[in-house]
Structure 1
Amino acid sequence: MSCSRGNIIRKRPQKHQNKTAFKNDLHDTSKKTKVLNNLEVNGVCERCKEIIEWKIKYKKYKTLSAPRKCVGCELKKVKYAYHVLCTDCGKEKKICAKCCTSFDVIKKSDEENEDNNVNKYQSILKNLPERKRRTLLRYIKKQEDGQEISSTAIEALLSEIDKINLDDDLNDESSEDNLCGSD
């Protein structure tokens, strides 16, 4: 059994697998579902936005029947489910209306994630063979002309590294070697 004590390796695939993706409006054509599908989530951080969008996508979102009391101003102005602050207090204090974290902290964590991605790509470049690494670096220089390259562009380059024409790069290397040999 997969739930028996000490059994950490499962030997079979999961029993019930979905053949089609879930659609929240497949059998339900009510006005409520249409309104929820068109609902725009604003005033929350990215993580909370993803959580609320997931709830809407999989029909787990429960709307408020009456406005709730705001934690900030203590008036009944919260009109969106899962929010603890009204939109006015959230904008005024510059914090997420759901989890009450400041947007500055969220931006710093995003910058840290970007730094981690750069470190990850540097480690990938270190692990590449010398020929492919130099080819990739030359290709990046040709594409960007000294500008910073984003992590998504590096991912695309790494996935397409075999498509880069190595014959042109070999000609470039031989001309560089000739220049170095003449000094």
Structure 2
Amino acid sequence: MPDIGLLYHEHHGWLFNWLRRKLLSPQDAADLSHDTFVRLITGGPARIHEPRAYLLVIASRLLINRNQRQRIEREALYSVAVLLEGTDRRGPEQVAGARDLLSRVLHLLLEELPDKPRRAFLMARLEGLSYRAIGERLAVSESSVKQYLARCLAHCHWRLHDALEQGAGQ
């Protein structure tokens, strides 16, 4: 196992600056550089011949995963907006019924998720808590909270997408 402390000391500043230029956000760069070293600790090889190249590969994969999660989150939010778009032209009873139905569907979808992602989603959406506050309550990092929320949104998106496709096929 490589000396992680030495690798961190020698390469963290460089990796952070590389990520900051890519992400244009010091907070996101700090999260991803931290996640890169965590990934190295949990699954790195016994020897690393080119530490910067290896760190770049890990960080690049994390960037790709982050971008995919953000795309899925945007698509899920867009899908929900499309579903709710026509509600303002309906009467109050139809709007209330649609919201009740959406609430029940969302509840069922969230029940399919593990405990921490479900709780994080509810704290964010119902209580309006920040990622930091949610992380403190769940004893996880802000990065984990972001991943939980992306996972919830992606799950809801895909389940709704599947349901809409099944409904269209009938």
TM over 0.5: no
Which one has a larger percent helix, Structure 1 or Structure 2?
Answer: 2
- TM-score between the two structures when normalised by the length of structure 2: 0.31
Please say which structure displays the higher CA radius of gyration: 1
- TM-score between the two structures when normalised by the length of structure 1: 0.29
